[in-house]
Amino acid sequence: MKKIIYILAFSCITSSYAQNTLYIPSNIKHKNFESSLYGKDISLIKISNSKGMKVYVTNYGARIVSIMAADRNGNFEDVVCGFDSIADYQKIKQNFGALVGRYIGRILGAKFTLDGIEYKLQAGGNGHCAHGGTPGFADKVWNIVETNGNTVKLSYLSVDGENGFPGNLDISVTYTLSERNELIINYEATTDKPTVLNPSNHSFFNISGDLNKSITDQKLFVYGDSIAEYDNDKCVTGRMISVKNSPFDFRCMHHIGDNIDDDNQQLKVTGGYDHTWKLNSNGDIDKMAARIKDKKSGRVMEVYTTEPGLHIYTANGHNSKIIGKSGITYVRRNSICFETMHFADSPNKPQFPSTALRPGEKFTSTTIFRFRN
């Protein structure tokens, strides 16, 4: 199997961090995350650095709860959606900030064959296995292995047969906040039986710092010439289609909202962007996969990854019914996800890169989200 390492890095470069630094008030409090589930304690862990950047993580779903990043004036604001308490994360079934797995995206027909053996997975209402089934990694209480101020390591044992997936899968994720303002997320996993694995972080970003504001006026670049095609039921066909002369062409940076409501069959299926780009970076971590820019705050976030695909979701399903942090109403398209990943239904699509993991192999993966201003 291809060696993969997930490193999620945020770089926030400020020249004015000093005594005049301003933190926009947040309702994130440790006491609101102190709970227990399945006999395990749930906690909120803060990691920080000397530059003023702060990241909050909970071991419920190995979620990123808050990222405080600076704008061009050195003011720190939260740039990811979520909730103020663990009770809301449990009550409102969304993947805000979660580590999704075992397999993000759909496995069609809720089954796959590996080494001649057919495995039947937990099927949702549409007959497919989505995001690894329910409960998935996002619903589990992860073990806190280590924390030391700028690093927290979490682990989870997904037992053989969980939601139908074979093998005892031992997976860990380490979040490290460096002095370069990089949030590094490192995934590692091993198995005792042949299995498939495709985890990803599912943070909803709004780099403006205003979580009630549409992201359609932010500018986006994606280094990809094609996307994975959907049929009318939002199932991947196994075919890649060119972005040329389509609303999916972000090879030249432009506003997300320029073509998001065009009369296009792929957009009609999803009601906006909710597609996986095949990246031209070909696993080269030094080649930019995507870039998003907010003019007012000055924040820029760049995406780098060793993964072959980047799934971009523009929160088309947010409909003002979700009340998030600080009582903010999450309106349609108030955020955007950058899910670095392998393609949906890869176990049933031999033309896609393999997601197989076998005993004796080690799964690793790297992704970098780098903040600038």
Give every CB contact of residue 158 below 8 A, 6+ residues apart in sequence: 101, 102, 137, 165, 168, 169, 171
Task: Report the greatest alpha carbon distance in the chain.
Answer: 63
Is 339 annotated as catalytic? yes
Using alpha carbons only, give the angle 274, 209, 201 rounded to the nearest 5 degrees: 40
Write down the catalytic residue from 77, 182, 307, 339.
Answer: 339
Is 307 annotated as catalytic? no
Cis omega (within 30 of 0) on the bond before 102? yes
Exposed/middle/buried for residue 317 (C-beta within 10 Å: 0-12, 13-18, 19+): middle
Count of CB atoms situated within 10 Å of the CB of 14:
22
| Among the listed residues 131, 157, 132, 127, the one whose alpha carbon sits nearest the alpha carbon of residue 142 | 157
Radius of gyration of the chain (CA): 19
Write down the catalytic residue from 131, 202, 275, 342.
Answer: 202
| Cα(64)–Cα(98) distance, integer angstroms | 7
- Residues noted as catalytic: 202, 339
